[in-house]
Structure 1
Amino acid sequence: MRAVIDNTPIAMIKVSVYRDRNLMGKAYTNDEGRYTVELPKNELVTVRFDTHHSLTNAEEWHPSVVANVISDDDSPLDRYLLKSGHGAGPESAVDALSGYLFAAAWEDADYARTAASRLSRLKQTSKVLQEIQQTLQEHFNAQA
């Protein structure tokens, strides 16, 4: 399992696994972008890829969330993350916004500061996505 951009591994991406609202496990990607999280088999989980506000890469990447994953050792889950400040197609923008929506339910003021900064650099092409981005931006600004 890896976190990558342009097939280049990304180190120090926080990978968190949730079942319902409970954190089941977490790990950070290594220099090869690989990570391992030990989970019980056949659990329905959500996997979140994001930076951590205390790390040097805190503002470099937009988050990504994969919902409704069945935990199984035989199912690799690689993610291509969108670099902050880079253009995005609508699919990548929706993926990043979903990551921020997920984070809005869990995170605190420390996270909100970096989220607000990253969101301000997310380029949208759709009016609907711009409105969602603006609402999230206001949320994280208020939290920070």
Structure 2
Amino acid sequence: MRAVIDNEPIAMIKVSVYRDRTLIDKTYTNDEGRYSAEVPEGELVTVRFDTHHSLTNAEDWHPSVVANVVADDRIPLDRLLLKTGHGADAESAVDALSGYLFAVEREDEDYARTAESRLSRLKQTSEVLQGIQRKLQEHFKAKT
């Protein structure tokens, strides 16, 4: 399984696996963008891909979330992450915004600082998505 951009691997992306609201495993992608997580087979999980505030790539990528996945060793979860400062089609913007929405209740002040900065560089054309983006920015700014 990999985290990639333009089919190039991304190292040091934090991959967190949740069952309901509980974190059950986390890891980081290696230099080849690969990762492996321990998940009980057949469990319904959510997998989140994001940067970590303490790493050099903290503001380089927008997050991504894959919700309601039935864990199985035959399901590869490769994610194409959206680089900050780049234009986003509607699907990529929704994916990134979902990643931030998932973080609203789970992350601390350090995360809020990088999230607010990354959100300020999310370029999109949809007014509805821009409204959600603004609300998220306000939320994270208030946490810092």
TM-score by length of 2: 0.99
1:70 to 2:70 alignment: yes
Deviation at 1:114, TM superposition (A): 0.2
- SS of 2:66's equivalent in the other structure is strand
Alpha-carbon distance between aligned partners in 1 of 2:14 and 2:65, rounded to the nearest angstrom: 12
Deviation at 1:105, TM superposition (A): 1.6
- SS of 2:25's equivalent in the other structure is strand
What is the match of residue 46 of structure 2?
A: 46
Letter in 2 for 1:86: H
1:15 to 2:15 alignment: yes
Instruction: Give structure 1 stretches of 5+ with no counterpart.
Output: none
Size of the aligned set, in residue pairs, is 144
1:6 to 2:13 alignment: no
Letter in 2 for 1:112: A
Deviation at 1:18, TM superposition (A): 0.2
What is the match of residue 25 of structure 2?
A: 25
Over residues 60-98 of structure 1, what are the superposed CA-to-partner deviations in whole Å (9 max), with x where a residue is unaligned? 000000000011111111000000001110100000000
Alpha-carbon distance between aligned partners in 1 of 2:29 and 2:19, rounded to the nearest angstrom: 21
What is the match of residue 134 of structure 1?
A: 134
What is the match of residue 106 of structure 1?
A: 106
- SS of 1:129's equivalent in the other structure is helix
Identity, in percent, stands at 78
Alpha-carbon distance between aligned partners in 1 of 2:138 and 2:113, rounded to the nearest angstrom: 11
Alpha-carbon distance between aligned partners in 2 of 1:92 and 1:120, rounded to the nearest angstrom: 16
The runs of at least 4 consecutive aligned structure 1 residues that moved more than 3 Å come to none
Over residues 10-46 of structure 1, what are the superposed CA-to-partner deviations in whole Å (9 max), with x where a residue is unaligned? 0000000000110010110000000000111000000
What is the match of residue 83 of structure 1?
A: 83
Letter in 2 for 1:114: T
TM-score by length of 1: 0.99
Letter in 2 for 1:60: D
- SS of 2:47's equivalent in the other structure is strand
